[in-house]
Structure 1
């Protein structure tokens, strides 16, 4: 894992990019992608002093799992996963070789399966899909810290 950022013992990193990237080829590597996300978030806390809520820890791993699973399921060849800490959030980017854009299905509690993208969109602050010269890139952001007032990060309780 390639981590860029600040030296241990200094103030929390807020202006420098902290990132990690890896390529995944087999479906067995979906667990490795989740492990990479957990390690990245742990490093953000321990090494860089950034707050990471328990909710964010779980949500980032869930998002990574769903996006890498879809890439492995629907696109031939490897997929690339990049995690970046940016403006109080983790940006999760997954590239795959398929030019077919993901289709968001209407919510249907009776449907078995195919809820991954629906889940990702519900828990992320932002969701973007970009066609690339080869394939596509999906980029989402998950807020790292919950609001001190008790609101779930990125969402106001009404």
Structure 2
């Protein structure tokens, strides 16, 4: 299952991206009976927020988001027109802001950053199930 979205150029695109993400995950549950943990829903929204925020902040032009679902994970793909690849900065608890990529790296199973002919593509993979040591519960329906 996959869905793509061209996001608007104003500040509402971040909220729109989160809304699209929840609708996509709810559809996956309804149509494919996939159990998606509360943790996975929350982390997917967080990753979407961070990646779309960075794209809007640092890249001129449009932002595209694609969501892909497998039996084990959800992939968040964000494309923008800025060819410069982001890098996570060293941890600094005194720094205000600019922690987005650090956060994304910490909560994803895989993070891939690639240049494209007209910018870059960032792909983040989030597990649908909780890690074995987690006490979170899986949701069986839309929240």
The aligned residue for residue 20 of structure 2 is 36
Looking at secondary structure, tell me which structure has more strand per residue. Answer: 2
- TM-score, normalized by length of structure 2? 0.90
Higher relative contact order (CA 8 A, sep 6+): 2
Question: 1:45 and 2:24 equivalent?
Answer: no
CA distance in 1: counterparts of 2:21 and 2:77, whole angstroms: 12
Q: How many residues align?
A: 135
Structure 1 vs Structure 2 CA RMSD: 1.5
1:108 aligned onto 2:92: yes
**Runs of 5+ consecutive residues of structure 2 not aligned to the other structure:** 137-143
C-alpha distance in 1 between matches for 2:67 and 2:35 = 16
- Counterpart of 1:96? 80
Aligned to 2:70: 86
Task: State how far apart, in whole Å, the 1-side matches of 2:71 and 2:82 are.
Answer: 30
C-alpha displacement at 1:152, in angstroms? Answer: 7.6
* Match 1:59 to one of 43, 51, 64: 43
- 1:22 paired with 2:5, answer yes
Q: Stretches of 4+ moved more than 6 A in 1?
A: none
Which residue number in structure 2 is paired with residue 150 of structure 1?
Answer: 133
